[in-house]
Protein backbone atom coordinates (compact mmCIF):
# COMPACT_ATOMS: atom_id res chain seq x y z
CA UNK A 1 0.00 0.00 0.00
CA UNK A 2 1.22 3.40 -0.95
CA UNK A 3 0.92 6.04 1.75
CA UNK A 4 0.94 8.96 -0.67
CA UNK A 5 -2.22 11.01 -0.38
CA UNK A 6 -4.70 10.80 -3.26
CA UNK A 7 -5.33 14.20 -4.80
CA UNK A 8 -7.41 15.59 -7.67
CA UNK A 9 -5.33 16.23 -10.81
CA UNK A 10 -7.49 19.26 -11.70
CA UNK A 11 -7.61 21.31 -8.49
CA UNK A 12 -4.72 19.54 -6.62
CA UNK A 13 -6.79 19.25 -3.45
CA UNK A 14 -6.55 16.15 -1.27
CA UNK A 15 -9.56 13.90 -1.88
CA UNK A 16 -11.70 12.16 0.71
CA UNK A 17 -12.39 8.47 0.18
CA UNK A 18 -15.78 6.85 0.51
CA UNK A 19 -16.36 3.12 0.71
CA UNK A 20 -19.46 1.67 -0.94
CA UNK A 21 -20.57 -1.42 -2.94
CA UNK A 22 -18.31 -0.42 -5.85
CA UNK A 23 -15.26 -0.17 -3.63
CA UNK A 24 -13.45 3.06 -2.86
CA UNK A 25 -14.67 6.27 -4.48
CA UNK A 26 -12.72 9.50 -4.18
CA UNK A 27 -14.66 12.69 -3.60
CA UNK A 28 -13.87 16.36 -3.01
CA UNK A 29 -14.16 17.25 0.68
CA UNK A 30 -17.38 19.14 1.33
CA UNK A 31 -15.36 21.93 2.98
CA UNK A 32 -14.30 23.01 -0.53
CA UNK A 33 -17.85 23.66 -1.75
CA UNK A 34 -18.77 23.14 -5.42
CA UNK A 35 -15.55 23.13 -7.43
CA UNK A 36 -17.36 22.70 -10.75
CA UNK A 37 -15.66 19.47 -11.87
CA UNK A 38 -15.61 15.76 -11.08
CA UNK A 39 -12.59 14.64 -9.04
CA UNK A 40 -9.79 13.01 -11.02
CA UNK A 41 -7.84 10.97 -8.45
CA UNK A 42 -4.06 10.68 -8.80
CA UNK A 43 -1.30 9.86 -6.34
CA UNK A 44 0.21 13.07 -4.95
CA UNK A 45 3.71 13.86 -6.20
CA UNK A 46 6.47 13.89 -3.56
CA UNK A 47 6.63 17.69 -3.42
CA UNK A 48 2.87 18.20 -3.13
CA UNK A 49 1.64 20.26 -0.19
CA UNK A 50 -2.02 20.13 0.70
CA UNK A 51 -4.37 22.88 1.77
CA UNK A 52 -4.48 24.14 5.32
CA UNK A 53 -6.48 21.76 7.58
CA UNK A 54 -8.06 24.79 9.25
CA UNK A 55 -9.24 27.19 6.52
CA UNK A 56 -8.83 24.60 3.69
CA UNK A 57 -8.04 27.53 1.39
CA UNK A 58 -4.39 28.53 1.53
CA UNK A 59 -1.50 26.13 1.03
CA UNK A 60 -0.20 24.51 4.20
CA UNK A 61 3.36 25.39 5.15
CA UNK A 62 3.33 24.55 8.85
CA UNK A 63 2.48 21.48 10.86
CA UNK A 64 0.94 21.47 14.31
CA UNK A 65 1.91 18.29 16.15
CA UNK A 66 -1.13 16.64 17.73
CA UNK A 67 -2.30 13.28 19.01
CA UNK A 68 -5.07 11.41 17.23
CA UNK A 69 -8.43 12.11 18.85
CA UNK A 70 -12.10 11.47 18.24
CA UNK A 71 -13.76 14.74 17.35
CA UNK A 72 -17.42 15.70 17.06
CA UNK A 73 -19.58 13.48 14.84
CA UNK A 74 -17.17 10.60 15.55
CA UNK A 75 -14.72 12.02 13.04
CA UNK A 76 -11.22 10.87 13.78
CA UNK A 77 -8.63 13.63 13.74
CA UNK A 78 -5.50 11.77 12.70
CA UNK A 79 -2.38 13.19 14.28
CA UNK A 80 -0.80 16.38 12.98
CA UNK A 81 -2.69 19.30 11.47
CA UNK A 82 -1.32 21.23 8.51
CA UNK A 83 -1.65 25.02 8.68
CA UNK A 84 -1.15 27.94 6.29
CA UNK A 85 0.82 31.02 7.37
CA UNK A 86 -2.27 32.96 8.46
CA UNK A 87 -3.84 30.18 10.53
CA UNK A 88 -0.46 29.23 12.04
CA UNK A 89 0.10 32.83 13.16
CA UNK A 90 -3.31 32.93 14.89
CA UNK A 91 -2.61 29.63 16.67
CA UNK A 92 0.86 30.77 17.76
CA UNK A 93 -0.71 33.90 19.26
CA UNK A 94 -3.43 31.77 20.89
CA UNK A 95 -6.14 33.67 18.98
CA UNK A 96 -8.52 30.75 18.60
CA UNK A 97 -11.63 32.95 18.36
CA UNK A 98 -10.07 34.84 15.46
CA UNK A 99 -9.25 31.48 13.86
CA UNK A 100 -12.89 30.37 14.20
CA UNK A 101 -14.00 33.64 12.53
CA UNK A 102 -11.50 33.16 9.68
CA UNK A 103 -12.45 29.52 9.03
CA UNK A 104 -16.16 30.34 9.25
CA UNK A 105 -15.78 33.21 6.75
CA UNK A 106 -13.87 30.97 4.29
CA UNK A 107 -16.53 28.27 4.58
CA UNK A 108 -19.41 30.72 4.01
CA UNK A 109 -17.66 32.08 0.93
CA UNK A 110 -17.48 28.57 -0.58
CA UNK A 111 -21.04 27.60 0.40
CA UNK A 112 -23.36 30.40 -0.69
CA UNK A 113 -26.93 30.07 0.51
CA UNK A 114 -26.22 28.77 4.02
CA UNK A 115 -28.99 29.47 6.52
CA UNK A 116 -28.17 31.45 9.67
CA UNK A 117 -28.88 28.25 11.66
CA UNK A 118 -26.25 26.38 9.56
CA UNK A 119 -23.74 29.13 10.25
CA UNK A 120 -24.47 29.05 13.99
CA UNK A 121 -24.07 25.24 13.99
CA UNK A 122 -20.80 25.56 12.07
CA UNK A 123 -19.43 28.01 14.62
CA UNK A 124 -20.34 25.69 17.50
CA UNK A 125 -18.73 22.76 15.69
CA UNK A 126 -15.51 24.67 15.03
CA UNK A 127 -15.28 25.85 18.64
CA UNK A 128 -15.78 22.29 19.94
CA UNK A 129 -13.31 20.87 17.44
CA UNK A 130 -10.59 23.39 18.27
CA UNK A 131 -11.17 23.01 22.02
CA UNK A 132 -10.60 19.26 21.61
CA UNK A 133 -7.60 19.87 19.37
CA UNK A 134 -5.99 22.17 21.94
CA UNK A 135 -6.08 19.35 24.50
CA UNK A 136 -4.18 17.15 22.05
CA UNK A 137 -1.46 19.49 20.80
CA UNK A 138 1.92 17.97 21.58
CA UNK A 139 4.32 20.77 20.61
CA UNK A 140 4.96 23.96 18.65
CA UNK A 141 4.49 24.61 14.93
CA UNK A 142 7.14 23.11 12.69
CA UNK A 143 7.74 24.02 9.02
CA UNK A 144 6.50 21.42 6.53
123 vs 36: CA distance, rounded Å: 26
Among the listed residues 7, 14, 32, 55, the single contact to Zn ion using CB under 5 A:
55
Give CA separation, 83 vs 79, 119, 133, in Å: 13, 23, 13
Asked if 10 touches Zn ion (CB under 5 A), the answer is: yes
The residue among 10 and 98 lying less far from Zn ion, judged by its C-beta, is 10
The residue among 55 and 133 lying less far from Zn ion, judged by its C-beta, is 55
Asked if 52 touches Zn ion (CB under 5 A), the answer is: yes
Asked if 62 touches Zn ion (CB under 5 A), the answer is: no
| Side-chain-facing half-sphere of 129: CA atoms under 13 Å | 20
Among the listed residues 8, 14, 82, 99, the single contact to Zn ion using CB under 5 A:
8
Give CA separation, 81 vs 105, 130, 143, in Å: 20, 11, 12
Under 8 Å between Cβ of 83 and 63: yes
Shortest spacing between CB 103 and Zn ion, in angstroms: 8
117 vs 123: CA distance, rounded Å: 10
Among the listed residues 14, 82, 84, 129, the single contact to Zn ion using CB under 5 A:
84
**Measured CA angle at 78 (ends 26, 114), to 5 deg:** 60
Asked if 103 touches Zn ion (CB under 5 A), the answer is: no
Asked if 141 touches Zn ion (CB under 5 A), the answer is: no
The residue among 84 and 116 lying less far from Zn ion, judged by its C-beta, is 84
Question: Where do contacts with Zn ion occur on this chain (CB under 5 A)?
Answer: 8, 10-11, 39, 52, 54-55, 58, 84, 87
Amino acid sequence: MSNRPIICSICLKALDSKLDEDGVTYIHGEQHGDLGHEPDPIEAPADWRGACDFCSTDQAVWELPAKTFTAINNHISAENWAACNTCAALIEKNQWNALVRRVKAQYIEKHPGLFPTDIAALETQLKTLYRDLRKNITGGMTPL
